Amino acid sequence: MEKKKAPLAGEALSKKVKELGHLSKEAKARACGYSTITKNGIERVNMMPFLNALMDAEGIELDGKQEGTGRGGRTASYRISVQSNGNLLIGSAYTKQMGVNPGDEFEIILGRKHIHLRQVDTDAGTAELAAAS
């Protein structure tokens, strides 16, 4: 019996849906792994989990929660913690909001109780984008 793959999520899901633009939403969900076979052998497309995963991947928030309220799912809380390996991770919700792209470079300026990121702009100097206290 064939082992079922986990459904796509995040950037992989978003990319696959864009590649399948010509298909119906049910066909896109099926191609991204959001279908199951029932006991009777009938295929069922799981549209709600597919649409929820797609909204998460695209950063779409429908719950009406105010931004910055903290632990409300995958919304931006404007707070991060140092990970166990010592890294600070700035998530895609923030980089999308800043309009930065993969490969963009930043200069890190450490203060006593803050970190400034300055985007390195090879054409026009540098522009300050964000500061965290």
Of 60 and 110, the one with more pLDDT: 110
Task: List pLDDT tens digits, range 16-66.
Answer: 999 998 999 999 999 999 999 888 899 999 999 999 888 888 887 776 554
The set of residues, in sequence order, having a beta carbon less than 8 Å from that of 9 and lying 6+ positions away, is: 53, 56, 57
**Dihedrals φ, ψ of 130, to 5°?**
-155, 150
Q: Which carries the bigger pLDDT value, residue 76 or residue 113?
A: 113
Q: For 37, how many CA atoms within 13 A lie in the half-sphere containing its CB?
A: 6
